[in-house]
């Protein structure tokens, strides 16, 4: 089964959230895209300026996405999606188990349904986009940055 043959994972990933890990930290993202560009499979992860994960992405150039089965990992998603790795060791606090990734140096969350391992090809800050509801999504100016990750492993 390949990424684009089965998009069911998107129901889970982009509704309740998926774990995005970089540099040993883990956060939650529920926005994102998969597609094909430059002859590669690409995962685009929108990460806001304020996230510790952004620092880790810029430092390591790699990230993993661990997609839980629908309805699972509820308390872990809530914790990792609201607390920063600057303040907490989220593995320790949630009891989640980090497992070494197969094709990048990072880790994935044990027990999820689907995994993507990505190498960052580049990043684009949002810049001056004509978003009709800027006030709704960006009241504090904490903008998204689009990280383009080449999918180097998926399982």
Ligand X SMILES: Cc1cc2nc3c(=O)[nH]c(=O)nc-3n(C[C@H](O)[C@H](O)[C@H](O)COP(=O)(O)O)c2cc1C
Among 46, 103, 146, 152, binds ligand X (CB under 6 A): 46
User: Token digits for 63?
Assistant: 């990230």
For ligand X (CB under 6 A), the number of binding residues is 18
What string marks each residue from 66 to 105 as x (binds ligand X by CB under 6 A) or -? ---------------xxxxx--------------------
Q: Does 25 bind ligand X (CB under 6 A)?
A: yes
Q: Does 19 bind ligand X (CB under 6 A)?
A: no
Q: Could you please report the per-residue DSSP string of 13-66?
A: HTTT-EEEEETTEEEEE---EEEEETTEEEEEEEEETT-HHHHHHHHHSEEEEE
Q: Does 51 bind ligand X (CB under 6 A)?
A: yes
Q: Does 120 bind ligand X (CB under 6 A)?
A: no
115 membership: H or E segment, kind and range:
strand 114-125
Return the SS3 of 87: coil
Shortest separation between residue 130's beta carbon and ligand X, angstroms: 20
User: Token digits for 73?
Assistant: 């990992």
Q: Does 29 bind ligand X (CB under 6 A)?
A: yes
Dist. CA 114–CA 22, nearest whole Å: 17
Shortest separation between residue 143's beta carbon and ligand X, angstroms: 10
Q: State the residues that interact with ligand X by CB under 6 A.
A: 17, 25, 27-31, 46-48, 51-53, 81-85
């Amino acid at each position: 089964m390949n990424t684009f043959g089965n998009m069911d994972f998107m129901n889970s990933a982009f509704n309740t959230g998926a774990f995005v890990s970089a540099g040993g930290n883990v956060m939650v993202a529920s926005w994102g895209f998969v597609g094909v560009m430059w002859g590669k499979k690409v995962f685009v992860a929108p990460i806001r300026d304020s996230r510790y994960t952004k620092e880790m992405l810029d430092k390591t150039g790699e990230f993993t996405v661990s997609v839980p089965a629908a309805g699972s990992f509820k308390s872990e998603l809530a914790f990792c999606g609201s607390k920063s790795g600057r303040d907490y060791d989220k593995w320790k606090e949630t009891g989640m188990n980090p497992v070494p990734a197969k094709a990048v140096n990072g880790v994935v969350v044990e027990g999820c349904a689907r995994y993507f391992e990505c190498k960052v090809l580049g990043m684009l800050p949002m810049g001056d986009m004509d978003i009709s509801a800027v006030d709704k999504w960006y009241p504090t100016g904490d903008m998204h940055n689009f990280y383009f990750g080449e999918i180097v492993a998926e399982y």
